[in-house]
Homo-oligomer: A and B are copies of this chain.
Amino acid sequence: MAVTLSDVAREAGVSLATASRAINGSPTRTVRADLRDRVLAAAERLRYTPDANAQAVARGRTTSLGLVVHDIADPYFSSIARGVTHAAGRAGLQVILASTEQDPSRELEIVELLRRQRARAIVIAGGRHDDADATAALAAVLAEYRDSGGAAALVGQPVLGTDTVQIANADGARALARELHARGYRDVAVLAGPPTHLTARERREAFVDELARLGVRVPDERVVAGAFDHDGGADAMRSLLAAGPVPELVFAVNDVMALGALTAVRAAGLGVPDDLALAGFDDITTLRDVVPGLTTVRIPLEEVGVAATELALEPAGGAPRVVPVETHVTIRESTPARG
């Protein structure tokens, strides 16, 4: 069924070695022009395609890179994935896409899986949790992966002894808090995401802390935990509305949660920004043009994907490297200045 290099060699009347050199151009050896042409012609005639798996076995390295996300349909991850596929393509690598489907514990199996595939590098896009056991376990698996010749890069917090692209979550949240305070908001609530989620926590803490510094206190009961996704935002907003008066401003720690919050707001018969203001984080592209625009903190997600890929692919030095990524507050209609 499948035509092999031997077939090509026979068809061209050369040895297997020559056929191999002619087609893949050995780094050291060179092949006489006429023979090379004959081999190439034979390959074309037989519609030969090299077997990447066999090449991987013979060469001792593959051309694939693993990408692990929590949910590829989440705009945050799909934007990062865009950057990763782009950078990987430039490096001549295939991307193996693996999704935890929102279950962080699956990261372990996935890394093992990618190790079986002998992926050259792994980019882990999902944020860490404050869970010493899970972190240690993943760090251990990644260390093994590195020992076996792989390279890994993380998007998020440098807690795994691995090269990391670190997003300026705290800076962004602080800047956002200042901007919103300047626009007159004083009665503020936060949809905080999971208490252990490091990214969620960074954003929440920095936001609340900066407001405090400005003299605005966010009561504990106004900080509502929940999942880091759409439904988490909706649930949190619902319980917030059920628990007390409508706040002037609600900060959701990511845009997708803000979107879920919007659903809950509308279901309660309220509107943004008329009844309350709303802000998110990430600046996912799909939301940039909606009416009213969502105030948020922009992260250059595609660049983050590129940076993480390049980081994983660059020869690693000694200590884990950290590549910082700036964020940028983007004020839109969802948070008008308060008269």
Among candidates B53, B56, B75, B302, residue contacting A75 with C-beta atoms closer than 8 Å: B75
Identify the stretch in A80-88, A181-189, A204-212 within 8 Å (CB) of chain B at 4 or more residues. Answer: A80-88
21 sample A-B contacts, Cβ–Cβ < 8 Å, listed by A number: A1-B148, A49-B116, A51-B116, A52-B116, A54-B57, A72-B81, A72-B82, A73-B79, A73-B82, A73-B285, A78-B81, A89-B101, A94-B98, A94-B117, A95-B97, A97-B97, A259-B290, A266-B291, A286-B286, A286-B287, A290-B290
Task: Report Cα–Cα, A287/B288, bound state, in Å.
Answer: 11
Q: CB of A104 within 8 A of chain B?
A: no
Interface residues of A in 63-105 (CB under 8 A from B): 64, 67, 71-75, 78-79, 81-82, 85-86, 89, 94-99, 101
Known: A49-B112, A67-B97. 11 other contacts (CB 8 A): A1-B149, A49-B116, A51-B57, A72-B72, A73-B79, A94-B113, A95-B98, A96-B96, A96-B97, A259-B289, A287-B290
Residue from the set A72, A230, A287 with the largest chain B CB neighbour count within 10 Å: A72
Closest-CB distance, A46 to chain B (whole angstroms)? 11
A residues with CB within 8 A of B: 1-3, 47, 49-54, 56-57, 62, 64, 67, 71-75, 78-79, 81-82, 85-86, 89, 94-99, 101, 112-113, 115-118, 144, 147-149, 230, 256, 259-260, 262-263, 266, 271-272, 284-292, 302
Ranked nearest first, the 5 interchain pairs of A and B with the lowest CB-CB distance are A78-B78, A73-B82, A53-B56, A97-B97, A290-B290
Closest-CB distance, A126 to chain B (whole angstroms)? 14
Task: Report Cα–Cα, A164/B54, bound state, in Å.
Answer: 31
Residue of B nearest to A56 (CB): B53
